[in-house]
Amino acid sequence: MKIIWTFLAFLLVELPARTQELPDTFFASWKDQIDPSIDRALDYLVRVQQKDGSYPGSYGNSCGIPALVGMAYLSKGHTAMEGPYANSLNMIIDFLLGRQDRAGLYTGGQYGSGPMYGHNIATLFLSEVSGMVDPERQKRIGESLPRALALILRAQSVTKSKNHQGGWRYHPNSRDSDTSCSGWALMALRSAKLNGANVPDSAIEDAISYLFKNFSVKNGHFGYSSPHNQKNSLTGMGLLCFELCGRHGTADTIKAADYILQNFRALEGDQFEFYGNYYNAQAMFQIGGKYWETYADWMYDTFLSRQNPSGSWNSKEAGEIYGTAMMTLSFSVPYRQLPIYQRDETVDED
């Protein structure tokens, strides 16, 4: 299938950062603690960045970790054009663009068990930062992103069994899928669609259909390769994808939000607690009301005290850089600076 990419927003226009007003009620009770916490975290990430734009420690030279750090900067409203983190952001952008191979894959040190994790996260970040960079980097991003997105779509179209159709896994030619890798790929496609890329509606729909195969309609949880495995760390991922891709406020999303509300405390100490917390925070904020306020009270109360004097958080999944980026992204949800996570119920409509 020939796909015509319409990246005029990437190639010709520098878009202003898209923001929404902060809520002035619930969040105000936490803001005085969250602001300095996030600033300490971002200062830590600047200090440990290496000269080539990568990071030390677990997967720091992959494309996934630098991209997560870049998204953490953006989540507080910082850009690559000015401010205290502009240079660090530009170093991340240059690092990622320099890692793309001829097939369009952002590669290098692997994030997780294969390159698609890092590729999907890098694609998402570069899509989000597009329009907030200098003209030369804008041109390079505009040339790079269509190739990266084409690879994601090719990987989705690989012949797979019925249970795995529509999803992604560790490698571009994988013939199976998992919901964790698929969530990042879907977010990258959605971000690009919001930015003007002609991402086929069928790609979004097929990805949602795949996730639904791993959803328990009865109990409201998502799993990794079935509805039942790693449900406490992955239900937020599935809920966020449903919320952002045309299922906002449906019976399924409320069921998933109810599951998180009843079970989120079991996430503390879990092997994937930072990952699960990140997605839970994003998803519960989309639902709002008691869901967000109950979850946020627990999250801030639990994790503010676990921040190290250096400004970092250490995760069991992948160490301090990953933990710090993921916790920053979780804490900064109410700032609503990342376009991908702003509710847009018309994204799949003509």
Residue showing tokens 């692997």: 110
**DSSP-derived secondary structure letter, 85:** T
Nearest alpha carbon to residue 267 among 221, 218, 225, 234: 234
What is the DSSP-derived secondary structure letter of residue 349?
-
3-state class (DSSP) for residue 222: strand
Q: Report CA dihedral (220, 75, 13, 202) to the nearest 10 degrees.
A: -10
Q: Which of 178, 245, 186 is nearest to 213 (CA)?
A: 178
Residues 54 and 174 in one domain: yes
Exposed e or buried b for every residue in 108-121, given b needs 16+ CB within 10 A? bbbbbeebbbbbbb
Same domain, yes or no: 188 and 41: yes
Shared domain for 159 and 250, answered yes or no, is no
Which amino acid appears at position 99 of this protein?
Answer: R
What is the DSSP-derived secondary structure letter of residue 315?
B
Q: Are residues 170 and 220 in the same domain?
A: no
Statement to judge: residues 113 and 258 lie in one domain = no
pLDDT of residue 290: 94
The verdict on residue 4 lying in a domain is no
Q: Which of 196, 228, 261 is the last residue of a domain?
A: 196
Same domain, yes or no, for 168 and 272?
no
CB 278 within 8 A of CB 180: no
Domain boundary among the residues 143, 169, 196 is at 196
Co-location of 63 and 149 in the same domain:
yes
Give the pLDDT of residue 112.
Answer: 63
Q: pTM of the prediction?
A: 0.91
DSSP string of 107-119, one letter each residue: -SB-STTSHHHHH
Cα–Cα nearest to 185, from 139, 237, 117: 117
Q: Which CATH number goes with the domain that contains 66?
A: 1.50.10.20
Give the C-alpha separation, 233 to 53, whole Å: 30
pLDDT at 30: 86
pLDDT at 59: 84
Query: Residue 122 domain-assigned?
Result: yes
Residues 65 and 184 in one domain: yes
pLDDT score recorded for residue 114: 83
**228, 186: one domain:** no
Position 108 scores a pLDDT of 75
Look at residue 328 and tell me if it is in a domain: no
Residue 327 lies inside a defined structural domain of this protein:
no
R_g over Cα of the chain:
18
pLDDT of residue 25: 67
Residues 230 and 296 occupy one common structural domain: yes
- Is 264 within a domain? yes
**Residue 35: both structure tokens together:** 């602001």
Residue of 17, 9, 99 whose CA lies nearest to 54? 99
Backbone angles phi, psi at 100, to 5 degrees: -85, 130
With a cut of 50, which residues of the chain have pLDDT below it?
1-22, 24, 344-350
DSSP string of 233-302?
A: HHHHHHHHHHHHTT-TT-HHHHHHHHHHHHHGGGGTT-TTHHHHHHHHHHHHHHH-HHHHHHHHHHHHHH
Residue 178 and residue 264 share a domain: no
Place of tokens 């998992």: 178
The structural domain count of the chain equals 2
350 part of a folded domain:
no
336 in a structural domain: no
- Predicted pLDDT at 37: 98
- Regarding whether 227 and 171 lie in a shared domain, the answer is no
Q: Which domain covers residue 58, as residue numbers?
A: 37-196
Asked whether residue 86 is assigned to any structural domain, the reply reads: yes
Give the CB-side neighbour count of residue 327, counting CA atoms within 13 A: 36
